[in-house]
């Protein structure tokens, strides 16, 4: 829905390509959500709240992002869509990470990763990628590298070159940070 308006910055966080257009697109989604009749399939509400939350996160509106993504996660769980629980849980974890709430982010990443491993192996590469980026930001570079290497292996097997490039970029960032960390260690 909004993918074409979102990119990644140098720190590998999602940011708007065009802030004005993303703001307008999020506004249109909010209007659509408000206009939904009460008897609307909750799956549609879930999708709209997820994308509104993602847009708000990219725009830096962390409280709104967490509210909408939390609502979407609740709807996914209520309708029994565990794949959406994993994906939206990762998005909500990102929103907490972007807002500086590392503890909540960590719990959400761990939950999504465990669910992906046990019930949705097709989403495991996404869970590993998001968790790896979280670990990288947290400074746990060795664990980040392990997660991202596993994500890369899975993405290569999927054959999706865009996803492979994304994971390679994250691994390159970890390697850069590892090199910087090694250079900062005084030698005896």
pLDDT in tens, 135-166: 999 999 999 999 999 999 999 999 999 999 99
pLDDT tens digits along 32-60? 999 999 888 999 999 999 999 999 999 99
Cα–Cα distance between 14 and 98 in angstroms, integer?
9
Question: Is the pLDDT confidence value at 183 over 70?
Answer: no
Q: Are 42 and 78 in contact (CB under 8 A)?
A: yes
Q: Provide the whole-model pTM.
A: 0.92
Residue 187 has a pLDDT of 53
Cα–Cα distance between 91 and 50 in angstroms, integer?
8
pLDDT tens digits along 89-102? 999 999 999 999 99
Residue 181 has a pLDDT of 62
Percent of the chain with pLDDT over 70: 96
Using the CB atoms, write b or e for 127-159: b if 16+ within 10 Å.
bbbbbbbbbbbeeebebbbebbebbbebbeeee
Cα–Cα distance between 21 and 34 in angstroms, integer?
20
Residue 182 has a pLDDT of 59
Residue 1 has a pLDDT of 87
Which run of H or E residues covers position 1? Answer: none
Cα–Cα distance between 121 and 114 in angstroms, integer?
10
> Would you state the structure tokens that stand for residue 2, as one six-digit string?
């909004």
Percent of the chain with pLDDT over 90: 91
Which run of H or E residues covers position 139? Answer: none
């Amino acid at each position: 829905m909004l993918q074409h308006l979102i990119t990644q910055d140098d720190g590998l966080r999602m940011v708007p390509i065009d802030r004005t257009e993303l703001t307008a697109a999020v506004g249109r989604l909010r209007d659509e959500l408000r206009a939904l009749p009460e008897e609307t399939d909750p799956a549609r509400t879930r999708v709209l709240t997820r994308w509104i939350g993602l847009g708000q996160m990219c725009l830096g509106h962390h409280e709104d992002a967490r509210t909408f993504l939390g609502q979407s996660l609740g709807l996914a769980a209520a309708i029994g869509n565990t794949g959406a629980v994993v994906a939206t849980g990762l998005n909500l974890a990102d929103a907490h990470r972007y807002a500086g709430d590392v503890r909540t982010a960590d719990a959400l990443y761990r939950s999504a990763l465990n669910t992906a491993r046990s019930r949705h192996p097709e989403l495991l590469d996404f869970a590993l990628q998001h968790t790896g980026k979280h670990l990288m930001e947290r400074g746990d570079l060795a664990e980040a590298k392990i997660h991202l290497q596993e994500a890369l292996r899975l993405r290569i097997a999927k054959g999706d070159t865009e996803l492979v490039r994304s994971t390679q970029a994250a691994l390159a960032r970890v390697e850069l940070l590892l090199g910087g960390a090694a250079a900062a260690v005084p030698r005896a």
